[in-house]
Amino acid sequence: MSQPIFPLVLTGLVYEAGGQALLKGITAEIQATGRTLILGPNGAGKSLLLRLCHGLLKPTRGRIDWCGQTEARRDQAMVFQRPVMLRRSAMGNLTYALACRGVGRAERRRRVEEVLDRTGLAAKAKLPARVLSGGEQQRLALARAWVLRPQVLFLDEPTANLDPAASLAVEEVILEIQASGTKIVMTTHDLGQARRLGDEILFLCDGRLVERKAAASFFSGPESPEAAAFIAGRLTW
């Protein structure tokens, strides 16, 4: 196991694009334990925040520190809302991800078989990834991240466009990934899912971190009018 990368410390994070401040000074500390859910209306800055944390974007101002380390990238993985699968089999997508990390052939095979099994995709292993259903592709995207054994997995709307049964299947995989020791940081629009999966909530609105609370107290007693309206379904953008 590589060196621990948590806590993740965000200090005065500002992101500007197109002459606009899109994230307006976010300060927070995220610990290795528990599932952290980022909630907020459309356009609040949730996806931007995940991308910054994952190092895909550079902050305009402010800092992102991983336990004082600068080289935490190798221990992170991210699954996007619309994951892109390579033109290979389901199994080939996983093997390729490991080959890119320099993992040897025997170890690759062992790890790939294990995650295919644990994500319920063993029977689909040889099919071209792109013919899998939406829910299966989403589970494959999770498998492709999981097989890397990251310390943290960022998930951006992992169940958007999935039906309730497929969403629950994805949630089960997320719980298993966490149980294997990976920190989960995710966004969702599904309040039911946020209640099921959230340990702590970061509530963003208009590029600001408006509330940060344990999930139970966020849902039972939001402090800000924006969060109260969001929970009541009255704040959608």
Ligand X SMILES: Nc1ncnc2c1ncn2[C@@H]1O[C@H](COP(=O)(O)OP(=O)(O)OP(=O)(O)O)[C@@H](O)[C@H]1O
User: At its nearest, how many Å lie between ligand X and the CB of residue 90?
Assistant: 27
Q: Provide the 3-class DSSP secondary structure of residue 218.
A: helix
Q: Which does 45 bind (CB under 5 to 8 A by kind): ligand X, Mg ion, none?
A: ligand X
- CA torsion through residues 211, 33, 115, 101, sign: positive
8 Å CB contact between 16 and 10: no
Q: Which is nearer to Mg ion, 121 or 202 (CB)?
A: 202
Count of residues that bind ligand X according to CB under 6 A = 11
Is residue 56 near ligand X by the rule CB under 6 A? Answer: no
DSSP string, 59-125: -SEEEEEETTBS--GGGEEEE-SSPPPPSSBHHHHHHHHHHHTT--HHHHHHHHHHHHHHTT-GGGT
Is residue 173 near ligand X by the rule CB under 6 A? Answer: no
Q: Which range, of 4-12, 16-24, 113-121, 140-148, touches ligand X by CB under 6 A? A: 16-24
Q: Which is nearer to Mg ion, 64 or 204 (CB)?
A: 204
Q: Which is nearer to Mg ion, 15 or 97 (CB)?
A: 15
19 phi/psi in degrees, rounded to 5:
75, 10
Residues across the chain: 237
Residues that bind Mg ion (CB under 5 A): 46-47
Is residue 47 near ligand X by the rule CB under 6 A? Answer: yes
Q: Which is nearer to ligand X, 79 or 143 (CB)?
A: 79
Is residue 42 near ligand X by the rule CB under 6 A? Answer: yes
Cis, peptide link before residue 7, omega less than 30° from 0:
yes
Is residue 67 near ligand X by the rule CB under 6 A? Answer: no
